[in-house]
């Protein structure tokens, strides 16, 4: 492979291979399905809510709030309105979602997860196997 | 001696003398005279008599001798210089001949006299001897010569004898030279003769010859006066003019394709095929365009093969493509081809030229690529350290580089730069530079915010321009009005690697990332590599997470949450609001409609036509509302549905009427009136009557509320005045048998038609009847009024209402169309929209299309919609009067026209026509402008409208008297074959109606495309008009005349008189509807 193209970064190549083997998707899935409440230092969880659901709940709550403020939202074009709201939620590193009591500090959380040495280690392990495989080839 | 040879110079005497025949020439007449008889002699006499007659007289022998022109002999022979022939001898001779011809008299005698002095030349005796021998013994001469020996003729004519200058034929002796007189007594002619020379204007002229001057070849004579040639001096060979290639040309066809190849390798990847193609399009139509790529790098070689062809219409002309190619090559031969900043060679595609060019270029490319790769490798090694230094050095200099946004446009080509500040300061414009640098081969000017970039295709050219112009070129400053020196900044291509060989793509010079990528790729250890990879992966992971959260989680959730069903309370609130609004609108609309109704209650024809309009629905609905509001209010409580909906259902089908007990009778009724009470199935009848009776049993209280509605029914006891009447009625009669109060109408009881409820109700005339009926069916008063009863009551009311409407509709239908509505057209069940598409037969259309009515009375379709009511007795006067009121302007003029009798009219027309004719004659031109259609003046006011007979018809706008001309049938006059052709074509193109009118055997008038409205006249078997062919100004015209008096608004018809068609399928049915209709047109 390396012989084929010298110009491409070896590291990038490896990363590509990593993705191709589905490790990246798996990582993503893991992160998203992590138990949310547990991480939130409240160990005594009543119900295990993973990150995805937590986000969903929060979004729903926010949208409901918005509608309550402005009833006309639901009578307008649904597609456009939802796109606008979505952009608003996404803005400033999920600032809107982090607000409130049940807020999800998504940005902080993602940062934290990504900087987790455990995660890095896992990746490295995987990479090592991939690299070994390649070298064998 | 040559002079002797010239003697035989052939010139028959006749030719030399004939022109003088008419002149008073002594030779002419005698010669002529003598010859004739001699010829006759030859013809008549035999061989034996020949000699005798021949030599019988001197005269004759002279005549014969004359056949040989002796004068010629002497003329040349006796020339003093006869031995030397002057080069211009011929011309001299000609000149002398001319002299002889014009002035023979003085010439010959003098010559004679001169030569009469002894010419002792031995040859001179020859003729003499012969003559003698001939005269002495004729026979041997004949054997010697095939022709008679020369004999002196005209010997007695002294003048002539002088000719024989050395021999006196009379005395038969030679004349001595001294006795001869000179021919040039007056010294008129030069003794040495003439020579022809060229005069100053290069014309030949005769001059006295000087024997001392030797003759020269005139061709070698290069006179100084010779005209100077204006041709260009050619110092090399030029090509032969192009030879036109045609079908007679021999050999292989000349090339019609050209090859465009770059003079040097082009680094410009911006050159696109289309621009080259467009460039060479101007020479001719391009049939084939091909560009070639380097087989190694797949990059364009910029070699193009362009093949020309002849334009579409001139394919037979073989020379056009050849010429195009030739011209293309010729155009660029001298000045070279310069396209988009690159130089090209243009050559005709001969033999293997294309292949050669291609291979050389490919080889060159390979060589270059090798060099470059070597350079790249060597530079790469010593890259890192020195590069920083170099950069520092270059950075210190104020070096210009191409701004990022221009990089693509400049495409790594050399360019010159002028700063924007400088340009703005002096007010320079791009155009100024363009003009100044017009002689350089720049490829483009880029006007950028930083300044002006003059891009060159070629570095050499750029450098040349820079060297020659920078600091030298001046432009007059617009602000300071003084010439300013312009200094360019040369920006060489940043990356010297040509893109086409570099393999890095276009952005080699631009993106540092790629260059860094080439450095970063080496990792020392595996850990390093893995760490870098982890970094990449984490970065990707973050972005992936972000997109995922946004696209997959937030987006759909928001969308779902916004679903209105999630907010039922909001929705219901809004709905109720909307409903209230709608109700308000509806009520407002109803009120408006009511208002409108009250204002216009008159008969509305459009409404009739339209039948079931929205208005009608609304009207009915509201009336129902007022009528049955009580009964409905009861229902409303039971059913949680809006009233409007319920009513809708009632009007339409009633399958799911909510009432239970009365369901059966209800359905029966519906069926009944759906079938329009015309059903005659006896089987259903029994049950029907039973039902009726059942109904009646329940009915008694029900009918009572009906009574006030129906005034005709007399069992309403509520009206006191009527009680009196009934009292009268009920008075006992004094008859033997008791009589019924009302006359018995047994017709209702006929079993052929089923008994309807209305009939039954009608039969029950008074209380007594009702009582009897109740007794008959053993009716008991119900104790409570239940829902079923209410429904029944409503159903009965509805039935009556429907009946009423039906009769009204029928009446209107009759009033409008005079024909009852055809039952076949009625829709059996359900709405008409549910019906399939079907064709309504023509004969049924008359029951709903007023213009389709039969023709028994004159039609009045013209003003159909303007009239308030359709009046049947539209007598001509009445109608015309009405028209006057309707549209006064046109009819007034028409009336005015009609007042003066048509005869007067025509007379004045004729006068007018004559006047015009006279004027036309005065003008003297056959202009169509003044040609007058006489027939137009006599035209009657007619118009076209929908016809009862077929499609369109022509209608009289006012009454027309019998035998009056109505209109001319105008159209294109065509010949019979054309007409046949057109008829076929019209049929093909779907023009079913024929507007061809035969004038005579050969002429047809076609009004299909161009023509007057007379073409709309329909055929009728009982026509009101007739078509006549009359001659106007020598031309046959078709004119329609009235056969009988025609009322206004009556359709005009004439008999088409089609030929009888034998084929049944070909026959056209006639829809004229007249009493004596033949059924077919042909």
Picking from A74, A75, A82, the nearest residue to B555 by CB comes out as: A82
> What local confidence, expressed as pLDDT, does residue A5 receive?
46
Mean pLDDT across A20-24: 81
CB contact under 8 A, B563 and A85: no
CB contact under 8 A, A11 and B538: no
pLDDT of amino acid B1021: 87
Q: In chain A, what residues touch B540 (CB-CB under 8 Å)?
A: 15, 19, 24
| E strands in B541-697 | none
pLDDT above 70: residue B99: no
User: Residue B148: what pLDDT?
Assistant: 77
State the number of CA atoms in the 13 A half-sphere of B1031 facing the CB.
3
Shortest Cα distance, chain B CAs vs residue A106, angstroms: 10
Check CB contact under 8 Å for A9 and B517. yes
Decide if B730 touches A, using CB distance below 8 A: no
Contacts of A18 in chain B (CB under 8 A): 533, 537
- Per-domain boundaries in chain B: 2-208, 257-373, 395-504, 608-652, 660-818
Q: What is the pLDDT of residue B590?
A: 87
SS (H, E, C) B488-538: CEEECCCCCCCHHHHCCCCCCCCCHHHHHHHHHCCCCCHHHHHHHHHHHHH
C-alpha dist (Å) from residue B912 to B897, B916, B934, B941: 16, 6, 10, 21
Model-level pTM?
Answer: 0.27
Facing A127 at nearest CB: one of B530, B555, B559 = B530
pLDDT digit string (tens) for B924-951?
655 555 555 666 767 888 888 888 788 8
pLDDT digits (tens, 9 = 90+) for B589-612: 888 888 776 655 544 445 444 444
Model pLDDT for residues B221-260, shown as the tens digit of each residue: 665 555 667 777 778 887 778 888 888 888 888 888 899 8
Instruction: Give the mean pLDDT of B569-579.
Output: 84
Q: Comparing C-alpha atoms, which of B118, B125, B110, B113 is closest to residue B177? A: B118
Classify A8 in phi/psi space as left (phi over 0), alpha (psi -120 to 50) or beta.
beta
Give B-chain residues touching A14 at CB under 8 angstroms: 529-530, 533
Which of B511, B561, B578 should one mutate to test binding to chain A, selecting the residue with the greatest count of A CBs within 10 A?
B561
pLDDT digits (tens, 9 = 90+) for B846-861: 777 766 665 544 445 4
**Region B393-417 average pLDDT:** 69
Instruction: Indicate whether B772 pLDDT > 80.
Output: yes
Closest-CA residue of B relative to A89 is B554
Cα(B849)–Cα(B514) distance, rounded to whole angstroms?
84
Interchain pair B554, A81: CB under 8 A: no
Q: How far apart are CA B87 and CA B92, in angstroms?
A: 10
Contact assignment for B532 to A11 by CB distance below 8 Å? yes
Q: What is the pLDDT of residue B1026?
A: 92
Tokens of B211: 């024997």
- Written as six digits, the tokens of A16 are 């590509």
Least confident span in B365-374, B434-443, B704-713, B970-979? B704-713
- Is the pLDDT at B642 greater than 70, yes or no? no
Long-range contacts at A37-42 (CB < 8 A, ≥ 24 apart): A39/A109
Beta strand pairing call for B1018-1019 and B1051-1054 = parallel
Looking at residue B174, what DSSP letter applies?
Answer: E
Out of B533, B558, B574, the one facing A59 most closely (by C-beta) is B558
Q: Show Cβ contacts of residue B1063 under 8 Å, excluding neighbours closer than 6 positions.
A: none
Considering the four listed CATH numbers 3.40.50.2300, 3.30.70.330, 3.30.420.40, 3.40.630.30, the one that applies to the domain covering B257-373 is 3.30.70.330
**Are the C-beta atoms of residues B1045 and B959 closer than 8 Å to each other?**
yes
Nearest Cα neighbor of B73 from B10, B7, B5 is B7
Pairing between strand B996-998 and B1018-1019? Answer: unpaired
Number of CB atoms found within 10 A of residue B1026's CB: 17
The domain made up of B395-504 is a member of CATH 1.10.3470 = no
Question: Measured between alpha carbons, how far is A128 from B44 in angstroms, rounded to an integer?
Answer: 144
ipTM of the complex: 0.83
Sequence-distant (6+) residues with CB within 8 A of A102 are: A57, A58, A61
Residues B76, B82: contact at Cβ < 8 Å? yes
Q: Who contacts B835 (Cβ-Cβ below 8 Å, separation ≥6)?
A: B827
Q: Nearest by CB to B529, which of A10, A32, A75?
A: A10
B767 CB near a chain A CB, below 8 Å?
no
Among the partner residues A7, A82, A110, nearest to B559 by beta-carbon distance: A82
Confidence band, pLDDT 50/70/90 cuts, at residue B749: low
Among chain B residues, CA nearest to A135? B526
| Contact between chains at A27 and B541 (C-beta distance less than 8 A) | yes
Label residue B1042 by pLDDT band (50, 70, 90). very high
pLDDT tens, residue by residue, B877-910: 444 444 444 444 444 444 444 445 667 777 887 8
| Tens digit of each residue's pLDDT (9 = 90 or more) over B323-359 | 888 888 888 887 778 887 788 888 888 878 888 888 8
* H/E run at residue A126: helix A117-136
B572 touches chain A (CB under 8 A): no
Cβ atoms within 10 Å, residue B418: 20
> Above 50 in pLDDT, residue B816?
yes
How far is it, in rounded angstroms, from Cα B127 to Cα B130?
5
SS3 B642: coil
Both tokens of B654, joined, read 């009633």
State whether B550 and A86 contact (CB < 8 Å). Answer: yes
Which is more confident, B494 or B798? B798
- Residue B546: list chain A partners with CB under 8 A: 110
């Amino acid at each position: 492979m390396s012989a084929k193209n010298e110009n491409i970064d070896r590291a990038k190549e490896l990363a590509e291979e990593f993705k191709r083997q589905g490790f990246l998707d798996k990582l993503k899935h893991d992160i998203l399905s992590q138990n949310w409440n547990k991480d939130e230092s409240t160990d005594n969880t009543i119900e295990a809510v993973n990150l995805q659901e937590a986000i969903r709940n929060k979004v729903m709550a926010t949208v409901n709030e918005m509608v309550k403020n402005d009833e006309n939202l639901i009578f307008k074009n649904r597609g456009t309105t939802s796109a606008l709201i979505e952009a608003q939620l996404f803005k400033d590193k999920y600032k809107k979602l982090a607000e409130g009591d049940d807020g999800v500090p998504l940005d902080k959380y993602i940062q934290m997860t990504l900087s987790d040495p455990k995660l890095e280690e896992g990746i490295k392990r995987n990479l090592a196997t991939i690299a070994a495989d390649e070298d064998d080839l | 001696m040559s002079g002797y040879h010239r003697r035989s110079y052939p010139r028959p005497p006749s030719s030399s003398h004939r022109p003088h025949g008419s002149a008073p020439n002594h030779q002419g007449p005698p010669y002529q005279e003598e010859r004739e008889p001699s010829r006759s002699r030859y013809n008549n006499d035999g061989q034996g008599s020949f000699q005798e007659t021949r030599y019988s007289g001197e005269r004759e022998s002279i005549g014969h001798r004359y056949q040989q022109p002796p004068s010629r002999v002497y003329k040349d022979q006796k020339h003093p210089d006869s031995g030397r022939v002057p080069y211009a001898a011929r011309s001299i001779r000609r000149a002398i001949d001319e002299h002889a011809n014009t002035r023979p008299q003085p010439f010959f005698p003098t010559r004679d006299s001169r030569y009469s002095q002894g010419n002792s030349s031995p040859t001179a005796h020859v003729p003499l001897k012969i003559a003698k021998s001939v005269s002495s013994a004729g026979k041997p001469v004949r054997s010697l010569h095939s022709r008679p020996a020369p004999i002196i003729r005209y010997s007695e004519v002294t003048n002539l004898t002088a000719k024989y200058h050395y021999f006196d034929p009379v005395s038969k002796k030679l004349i001595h030279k001294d006795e001869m007189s000179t021919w040039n007594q007056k010294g008129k002619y030069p003794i040495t003769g003439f020579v022809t020379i060229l005069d100053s204007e290069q014309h030949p002229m005769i001059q006295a010859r000087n024997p001392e001057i030797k003759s020269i070849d005139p061709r070698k004579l290069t006179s100084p006066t010779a005209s100077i040639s204006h041709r260009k001096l050619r110092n090399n060979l030029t090509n032969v003019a192009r030879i036109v290639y045609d079908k007679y040309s021999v050999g292989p066809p000349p090339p019609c394709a050209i090859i465009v190849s770059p003079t040097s390798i082009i680094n410009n990847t911006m050159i696109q095929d289309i621009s080259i193609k467009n460039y060479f399009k101007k020479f001719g139509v391009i049939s084939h365009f091909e560009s070639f790529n380097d087989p190694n790098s797949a990059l364009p070689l910029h070699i193009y093969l362009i093949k020309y062809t002849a334009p579409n219409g001139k394919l037979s002309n073989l020379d056009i493509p050849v010429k195009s190619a030739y011209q293309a090559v010729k155009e660029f031969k001298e000045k070279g081809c310069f396209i988009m900043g690159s130089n090209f060679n243009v050559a005709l595609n001969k033999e293997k030229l294309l292949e050669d060019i291609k291979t050389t270029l490919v080889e060159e490319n390979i060589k270059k690529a090798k060099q470059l790769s070597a350079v790249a490798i060597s530079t790469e090694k010593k890259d890192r350290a020195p590069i920083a230094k170099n950069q520092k050095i270059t950075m210190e200099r104020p070096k210009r580089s191409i701004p990022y946004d221009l990089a693509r446009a400049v495409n790594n080509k050399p360019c010159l730069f002028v700063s924007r500040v400088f340009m703005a300061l002096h007010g320079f414009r791009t155009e100024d530079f363009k003009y100044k640098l017009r002689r350089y081969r720049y490829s483009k000017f880029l006007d950028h915010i930083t300044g002006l970039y003059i891009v060159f295709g070629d570095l050499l050219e750029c450098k040349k321009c820079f060297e020659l112009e920078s600091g030298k070129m001046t432009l007059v400053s617009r602000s300071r009005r003084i010439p300013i020196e312009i200094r360019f900044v040369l920006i060489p291509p940043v990356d010297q690697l040509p893109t086409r060989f570099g393999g890095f793509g276009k952005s080699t010079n631009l993106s540092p990332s790629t260059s860094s990528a080439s450095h970063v790729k080496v990792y020392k250890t595996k850990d390093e590599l893995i760490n870098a990879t982890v970094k990449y992966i984490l970065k990707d992971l973050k972005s992936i997470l972000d997109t995922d959260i946004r696209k997959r989680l937030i987006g759909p959730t928001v969308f779902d949450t916004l679903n209105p069903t999630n907010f039922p309370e909001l929705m219901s609130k809004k709905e109720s609001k909307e409903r209230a609004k709608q109700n308000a609108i509806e009520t407002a609309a109803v009120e408006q409609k009511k208002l409108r109704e009250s204002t216009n209650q008159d008969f509305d024809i459009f409404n009739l036509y339209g039948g079931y309009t929205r208005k009608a629905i609304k009207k009915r609905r509201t009336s129902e509302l007022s009528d049955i509001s009580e009964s409905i209010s009861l229902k409303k409580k039971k059913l949680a549905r809006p009233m409007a909906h319920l009513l809708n259902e009632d009007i339409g089908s009633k399958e799911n009427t909510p009432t239970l007990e009365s369901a059966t009778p209800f359905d029966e009724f519906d069926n009944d009136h759906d079938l329009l009470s015309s059903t005659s199935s006896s089987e259903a009848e029994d049950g029907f009557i039973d039902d009726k009776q059942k109904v009646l049993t329940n009915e008694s209280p029900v009918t009572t509320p009906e009574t006030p509605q129906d005034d005709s029914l007399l069992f309403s006891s509520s009206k006191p005045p009527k009680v009196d009447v009934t009292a009268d009625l009920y008075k006992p009669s004094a008859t033997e048998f008791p009589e019924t109060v009302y006359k018995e109408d047994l017709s209702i009881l006929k079993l052929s038609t089923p008994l309807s409820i209305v009939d039954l109700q009608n039969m029950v005339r008074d209380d007594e009847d009702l009582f009897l009926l109740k007794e008959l069916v053993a009716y008991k008063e119900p104790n409570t009024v239940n829902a079923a009863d209410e429904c029944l009551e409503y159903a009965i009311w509805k039935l009556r209402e429907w009946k009423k409407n039906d009769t009204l509709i029928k009446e209107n239908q009759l009033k409008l169309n005079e024909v009852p509505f055809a039952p076949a057209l009625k829709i059996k069940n359900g709405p008409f929209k549910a019906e399939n598409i079907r064709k309504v037969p023509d004969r049924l259309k008359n029951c709903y299309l007023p213009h389709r009515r039969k023709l028994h009375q004159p039609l009045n379709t013209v003003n159909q919609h303007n009239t308030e009511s359709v009046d049947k007795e539209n007598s001509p006067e009445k109608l015309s009067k009405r028209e006057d009121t309707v549209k006064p302007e046109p009819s007034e003029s028409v009336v005015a026209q009609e007042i003066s009798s048509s005869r007067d009219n025509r007379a004045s027309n004729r006068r007018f026509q004559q006047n015009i004719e006279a004027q036309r004659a005065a003008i003297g031109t056959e202009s169509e402008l003044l040609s007058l259609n006489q027939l137009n003046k006599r035209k009657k006011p007619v118009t076209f409208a929908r016809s009862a007979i077929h499609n369109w018809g022509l209608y009289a706008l006012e009454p027309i008297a019998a035998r009056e001309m109505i209109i001319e049938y105008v159209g294109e006059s065509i010949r019979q074959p054309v007409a046949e052709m057109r008829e076929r074509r019209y049929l093909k193109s779907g023009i079913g109606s024929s507007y061809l009118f035969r004038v005579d055997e050969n002429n047809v008038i076609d009004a299909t495309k161009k023509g007057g409205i007379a073409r709309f006249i329909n055929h009728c078997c009982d026509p009101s008009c007739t078509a006549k062919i009359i001659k106007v100004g020598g031309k046959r015209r078709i004119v329609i005349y009235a056969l009988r008096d025609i009322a206004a608004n009556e359709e005009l018809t004439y008999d088409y008189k089609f030929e009888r068609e034998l084929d049944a399928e070909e026959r056209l049915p006639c829809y004229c509807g007249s009493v004596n209709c033949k059924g077919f047109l042909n």
